């Protein structure tokens, strides 16, 4: 049993807040108490769109201020030069997950797109397992999305099927283990890289195992390639290929029309906003207010280190709020906090995440608002976004277990994780 005491404000969900204590029954007989005096308590943040491998490839030369058509091959070359092996995947995922936990992210959806050329099914399972082990070992929750970027459709499907069978517990439901720590989904990178055969092949795996489906669409380059290659816009293709449905989440959506937004809403699809990637790279701004007004649930993601060099979801929530006025009305802070919690959880099909009400999985963050960065702030909940861009939580709890206490990881040494990744990258390409 864990009790968080004396909170200044508890944000139960985007619509409900109170003061007082929070009690999490994790089923154990141990009693743990966290002091939340002078703090705001929220649900754990849910990063609905990340690329954890890119944590190892941040601020690379040739990846900033360039068109996506130049960015993609530069990143691909970096992956090829480093090599793909479980050690690199484990080290990159551990750093990315630790960075997330230290900034309040308790669940990460890792859309893994880049696999070694001609990798066997066994090899892809080992790479996925390394990522899973790294995140779970730190105490976080992972949604591993077996993605594809120009993979052979049948090989991608066989790999996805093998990953599900090897890594999910036999009692998994809807692609999620009974303890909720691991979920598996599938998702091609987008119509700019994968054709109909890949979308349908991965869709068949999803249908067989009850998995969620995820993809990316309607950044400007995605639209341009779709028009050039198919004479149709990305959402037209997704609809024709069976990928506009209630189990599908579409990331980015910077370049969408009102008619397309209406189709997303009618299909029951969900969306993920990734301003920390799209804004600095110049790839657009999703019209969140229009999506939400049409009834499309919107979550929030950081995307990967190749475009957004930080996995700090709260900082990206702040950015989302600030740039929203460029494409519509200013988004209120509570709505954006809701995107980073409940909105992301809806897109993952995880009703226990993103809130502290009945049925909560017991993930929460304690944010200290008593210091100089919050002095003079009239509304401490809105102040979580408006003030202190680099804000980090005092405590983080996942499933009733404390994983960050007083701003430090409980489950690992931050310096050792960073050193392990630096050492692996310095060694260069892995040898057989």
DSSP 106-159: EEEEEEE----TT--HHHHHHHHHHHHHHHHHHT-EEEEEEEESS--HHHHHHH
Query: Which residues of the chain are in CATH 2.30.40.10 domains?
Result: 2-43+356-414
- In order, the DSSP letters of 230-249 are HSS-HHHHHHHTT--STTEE
CA dihedral 404, 410, 415, 417 (to 10 degrees): -100
CATH of domain 45-348: 3.20.20.140
- Angle 162-191-189 (CA atoms, 0-180°, nearest 5)? 45
As a whole number of angstroms, the distance between CA 304 and CA 301 comes to 9
Neighbouring C-beta atoms of residue 61, cutoff 10 Å: 7
Contact 46, 351 (CB under 8 A): no
Assign 39 to helix, strand or coil: strand
For every one of its 432 residues, what pLDDT tens digit does the chain have, with 9 covering 90 and above?
999 999 999 999 999 999 989 999 877 778 899 999 999 999 999 999 999 999 999 999 999 888 888 898 899 899 989 999 999 999 999 999 999 999 999 999 999 999 998 889 999 999 999 999 999 999 999 999 999 999 999 999 999 999 999 999 999 999 999 999 999 999 999 999 999 999 999 999 999 999 999 999 998 888 999 999 999 999 999 999 999 999 999 999 999 999 999 999 999 999 999 999 999 998 899 999 999 999 999 999 999 999 999 999 999 999 999 999 999 999 999 999 999 999 999 999 999 999 999 999 999 999 999 999 999 999 999 999 999 999 999 999 999 999 999 999 999 999 999 999 999 999 887 544
As a whole number of angstroms, the distance between CA 95 and CA 128 comes to 16
Element housing 67 (H / E): none
- Look up residue 277 and give its two tokens: 């990637």
As a whole number of angstroms, the distance between CA 155 and CA 183 comes to 21
As a whole number of angstroms, the distance between CA 100 and CA 368 comes to 17
Could you say which of 3.40.50.1860, 2.30.40.10, 3.40.50.300, 3.40.50.2300 is the CATH number of the domain covering 2-43+356-414?
A: 2.30.40.10
Contact 136, 182 (CB under 8 A): yes
Sign (positive or negative) of CA dihedral 73, 197, 123, 94:
positive
Contact 278, 285 (CB under 8 A): yes
Contact 104, 116 (CB under 8 A): no
- In order, the DSSP letters of 265-278 are HHHT-EEEE-HHHH
As a whole number of angstroms, the distance between CA 253 and CA 430 comes to 36
Residues in the chain: 432
Q: Which of 225, 223, 201 is nearest to 213 (CA)?
A: 201
pTM (2 d.p.): 0.97
Query: Which residues of the chain are in CATH 3.20.20.140 domains?
Result: 45-348
């Amino acid at each position: 049993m864990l009790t968080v005491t004396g909170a200044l404000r508890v944000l139960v969900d985007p619509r409900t807040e109170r003061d007082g204590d929070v009690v999490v029954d994790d089923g154990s007989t141990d009693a743990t108490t966290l002091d939340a005096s002078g703090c705001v308590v929220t649900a754990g943040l849910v990063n609905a769109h990340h690329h954890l491998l890119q944590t190892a490839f941040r601020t690379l030369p040739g990846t900033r201020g360039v068109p996506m058509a130049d960015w993609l091959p530069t990143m691909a070359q970096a992956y090829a030069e480093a090599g793909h092996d479980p050690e690199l995947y484990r080290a990159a995922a551990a750093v990315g997950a630790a960075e997330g936990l230290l900034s309040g992210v308790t669940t990460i959806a890792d859309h893994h797109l880049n696999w070694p050329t001609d990798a066997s099914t066994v090899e892809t399972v080992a790479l996925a397992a390394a990522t899973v082990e790294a995140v779970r070992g730190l105490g976080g929750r992972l949604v591993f999305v077996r993605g594809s970027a120009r993979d052979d459709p049948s090989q991608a499907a066989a790999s996805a099927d093998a990953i599900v069978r090897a890594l999910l517990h036999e009692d998994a439901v809807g692609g999620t283990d009974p303890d909720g720590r691991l979920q598996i989904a599938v998702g091609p990178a987008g119509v700019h890289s994968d054709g109909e055969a890949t979308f349908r092949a991965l869709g068949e795996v999803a249908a067989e195992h009850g998995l969620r489906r995820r993809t990316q669409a309607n950044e400007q380059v995605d639209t341009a390639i779709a028009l050039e290659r198919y004479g149709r816009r990305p959402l037209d293709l997704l609809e024709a290929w069976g990928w506009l449905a209630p189990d599908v989440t579409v990331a980015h959506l910077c370049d969408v029309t009102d008619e397309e937004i209406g189709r997303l809403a009618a299909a029951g699809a969900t969306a993920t906003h990734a301003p920390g990637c799209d804004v600095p790279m110049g790839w657009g701004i999703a019209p969140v207010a229009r999506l939400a007004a049409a009834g499309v649930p919107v979550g929030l993601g950081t995307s990967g280190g190749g475009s957004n060099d930080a996995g700090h979801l709260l900082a990206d929530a702040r950015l989302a709020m600030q740039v929203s006025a460029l494409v519509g009305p200013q988004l209120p802070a509570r709505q954006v906090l809701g995107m980073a919690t409940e909105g992301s959880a809806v897109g993952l099909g995880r009703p226990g995440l993103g809130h502290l009400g009945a049925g909560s999985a017991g993930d929460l963050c304690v944010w200290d608002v008593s210091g100089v960065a919050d002095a003079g702030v009239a509304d401490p909940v809105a102040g979580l976004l408006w003030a202190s861009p680099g804000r980090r939580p005092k405590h983080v709890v996942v499933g009733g277990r404390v994983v960050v206490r007083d701003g430090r990881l409980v489950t690992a040494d931050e310096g050792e994780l960073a050193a392990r990744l630096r050492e692996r990258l310095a060694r260069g390409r892995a040898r057989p």
